[in-house]
Structure 1
Amino acid sequence: MSKTSKVITGTNTRLSYFHGWEPASINGGAEKYSTAVLIPKSDTKTINAIEKAIDAAIEEGLAKFGGKKPNKAAIKLPLRDGDIERDDEAYQGHYFINANSTTAPQIVDQHVQPILDRSQVYSGCYARVSINFYAFNANGNRGVAAGLGNIQFVRDGEPLGSQVSASDEFETLDDDDFLA
Structure 2
Amino acid sequence: MSNMNSTKVVTGEVRLSYANVWEPRAAMNGGKEKYSASLIIPKSDTKTIEAIERAIDAAIEQGIGKFGGKKPNKAALKLPLRDGDIEKEDVAYQEAYFVNANAVRAPQIVDELVNPILDRSEVYSGVYARVSIHFYAYNVNGNRGVACGLGNIQKIRDGEPLGGGSSASSDFKPLSDATDDFLA
Residue 79 of structure 1: aligned partner = 81
SS in 1 for 2:69: coil
User: What is the CA-CA distance between 1:107 and the residue it aligns to?
Assistant: 0.2
So what's the TM-score if we normalise by structure 1? 0.93
More displaced stretch, 143-152 vs 20-29: 20-29
SS of equivalent to 1:98: strand
Aligned counterparts of 1:51 and 1:81: Cα–Cα separation in 2? 13
Query: What whole-Å deviation, never above 9, does each CA across 1:51-80 have from its counterpart, x for those lacking one?
Result: 000000000000111111111111100000
Deviation readout 1:148-177 (Å, 9 max, x if unpaired):
000000111111111211221233454589
CA distance, structure 2, for counterparts of residue 119 and residue 28 of structure 1: 28
Runs of 4+ in 1 over 2 A off after TM superposition: 170-177
1:110 corresponding residue in structure 2 = 112
Cα distance per residue 1:8-52 (max 9 Å; x no partner): 000x21100000001112223321100000000000000000000
Partner of 2:172: 170
How many residues are treated as equivalent by the alignment? 177
TM, length-normalised to structure 2: 0.91
Larger Rg: 2
| Among candidates 2, 8, 11, match of residue 9 of structure 1 | 11
Q: Distance in 2 between matches of 1:163 and 1:72?
A: 40
Match for residue 142 of structure 1?
Answer: 144
Unpaired runs of 5+ residues, structure 1, are none
Percent identity over the alignment? 68
SS at match of 1:77: coil
RMSD: 1.6
User: Hey, what's the Cα distance between the residues in 1 that align with 2:29 and 2:98?
Assistant: 22
